[in-house]
Structures are given as C-alpha cells and as structure tokens.
Amino acid sequence: MPQFSTLTIKDGSATPVDVVFSVEKLSSEQTVLVDRRQASRDMQPSVTIGFDRASPNRRTFKVKHSIAYPLVRTVAGVTTSNDVARATVEYTVPSSMTVDERAHLQALVANLEDATVIKAGIKDLDPLY
C-alpha cells in the first residue's frame, strides 16, 4: 500500500493550480482526503477512496473513488455551503485481470474523462446527441 500524507491534484482553472488534499482518514478499506483551504469541514472538498478485496464468494475487487465538492457561497456577509456536487467512479476488477488489462482500463477511464466531448457534458451541461 502506498504511504503518503498528501495528494496534490490540479484544479480546473484556465491556469491550473495545485490543490493539496491531506489525510483525514487512512485505512486499506477507506481513505478520505480533504482540501483544507476553507475553515469549516462542510465547505472543504474531499476525495474518498474505497478498496474492497476479492473474496471466495466474490472474485472481483471493488475500487471506488468518490468526490464531494461543496458549493461555497456568501449570503448577507456569511460564507456557507449551500449544496454539494458529487462524482463517483467505481471499478469492478475481476481477479483474473492482468496488470496490463488493469492499466488499459484505468487509462480508458482517465482519458474518457479528459475527452472534450465528455467534459462538455459536465462543464457546459451539453449532452451527447
């Protein structure tokens, strides 16, 4: 298991900025990383990484990445989070899958999310048709 204390991810600005996520919870089953730039936890974006090993009854590994992005607004001089945007990616990886096949699956997901036509659905709320 990789050992770390922070994870740096570039944001979506025109000139991307490094955002540092620090560990809130660290275990082999679930790790929670938090962007602590906001003062209150309910306003801090987070990434949750789940890992569920294969078992004799289920011959697949489950790897799940969940992102929570609070919408921080200032209303009448008070800064608060009034909603949360969420995204989830869940991998179901058969135990028979090779390292190369896992690499291809991960690249497919990452490259799909980076494709302009796919990003337009999120950034511009422009569906495929």
Q: What is the pLDDT of residue 22?
A: 96
88 & 102 share domain = no
- Residue 61, domain CATH: 3.30.380.10
The answer to whether position 85 is within a domain reads: yes
71 & 14 share domain = yes
Q: Which parts of the chain sit beneath pLDDT 50?
A: none
Rounded to whole angstroms, the Cα distance separating 19 from 1 reads: 23
83 & 105 share domain = no
56 & 16 share domain = yes
23 & 63 share domain = yes
**pTM to 2 decimals?**
0.87
Q: What is the pLDDT of residue 129?
A: 75
Q: Which of 39, 87, 38 is nearest to 67 (CA)?
A: 87
Task: Write out the residue range of the structural domain in which residue 25 sits.
Answer: 6-96
Q: Which of 106, 102, 92 is nearest to 59 (CA)?
A: 92
76 & 116 share domain = no
Q: What is the pLDDT of residue 1?
A: 52
Helical spans, DSSP H, in 90-129: 99-114, 116-123
112 & 53 share domain = no
51 & 16 share domain = yes
97-100 contact pairs (CB < 8 A, 24+): none
14 & 32 share domain = yes
Tell me the DSSP string of 36-89: TTSSSGGGS-EEEEEEE---SS--EEEEEEEEEEEEEEEETTEEEEEEEEEEEE
39 & 80 share domain = yes
The answer to whether position 1 is within a domain reads: no
